Structures are given as structure tokens and as C-alpha cells.
A = this chain, B = another copy of it.
């Protein structure tokens, strides 16, 4: 059983076509307060390594897991008491349904790539739209997490970080932390 919090499921990753966008989905999930990410489609160890490298340098906790059986994951998630929220431009406006997302249960936020199978719409506890215009699963996930956490996620301290940024009006300042 998963602990309460947000996890992300990225559907049907295609190694060549999606490698940068899926990486952006995963880094956004981590930076904006999700606990981990699953992905289906092509297994992509290089991409996983890139994410784990960010976690090693910038801190965690954050998990990445390949899950070819995304349908089984969604079904198990619900059977074990979790909540499934699918982000789609066809869903209910975030303003009208964000409070339906529980804070005391594990939440699986599902983001697709091009074409999402109908069963996802049917199995989801909630189909939520971050606006009803075509844009980006990265943008949708970022705004969902920013609003769900009320901006607190951008002030979080990451555990085990070796690098930390000192905010700067101009230029770059990074400090190295002792392990």
C-alpha cells in the first residue's frame, strides 16, 4: 500500500519521440512535490538514470518505476483505497473539482501522451481539465501540483541534497552541501 501523497503515472512513453517531454514530466513531478512517478510504454533505463542522477544531486525522496501494466496499476491503486485523477482537456475545470481530490489517501495523477484509451476516462475517479485548450501534460501537471499544494511545494527542502541554489537577482549562486 502507498502512503498518502501524490504519485504520477505517465502513459505510453515512446523512447525516441517522448524522451525529453517525459523527462520534463518526471522532473516537474519531483520539483512540485510528488513522491514518485510510474511510466508505461517503452522501458527507458537511460531516462530513469537521468532522473535518479537529479535526485542524487538535488535531493529527494523521489522514486521512478517502469510499469508496463498501467491498467493493472490503476485497478490495484483503486482496490487498495487510492484515488485516480486523470488530467485531460476534456474533463471538469480544475476550479470546479480540485476539492474532490483527497488529502488523506494516495493519489495517482495520470497524464497521457497523444491518445489516451477510453478506459482511463472510465476508471479515473476524476477527469480534470487544466483549461479546455490543447497545451501540454507538463504544464497541466505543474499547475495541478502548484494549486493542490497551494504554492508550498516550491518552498520544500529536499532530503540528502548535495546542491542548493541561493536565490539571486542576477547571475547564479549554487552551494555544495556536505554529505
Query: Interface of A with B (CB < 8 Å)?
Result: 17-18, 20-21, 24-25, 27-28, 30-32, 54, 58, 89-96, 118, 121-122, 124, 127, 129-136, 138-143, 146-147, 151, 153-155, 158, 164-165, 167-174
Q: A129-B165, A151-B95, A165-B89 are in contact. Are A121 and B171 (CB under 8 A)?
A: yes
Q: Within the assembled complex, what's the spacing in Å between the Cα atoms of A168 and B173? A: 46
The distance from the CB of A84 to the nearest CB of chain B, in whole angstroms, is 12
What are 11 of the A-B contact pairs (CB < 8 Å)?
A28-B135, A28-B139, A54-B134, A95-B155, A96-B167, A121-B172, A124-B170, A131-B154, A140-B142, A143-B146, A146-B147
- A142 partner residues in chain B, CB cutoff 8 A: 135-136, 138-140, 142-143
- A17 partner residues in chain B, CB cutoff 8 A: 20
Most B CB atoms within 10 A — which of A18, A54, A168, A174?
A168
Most B CB atoms within 10 A — which of A18, A90, A93?
A90
**Are A169 and B127 within 8 A (Cβ)?**
yes
- A173 partner residues in chain B, CB cutoff 8 A: 90
Q: A31-B139, A58-B133, A133-B30 are in contact. Are A170 and B122 (CB under 8 A)?
A: yes
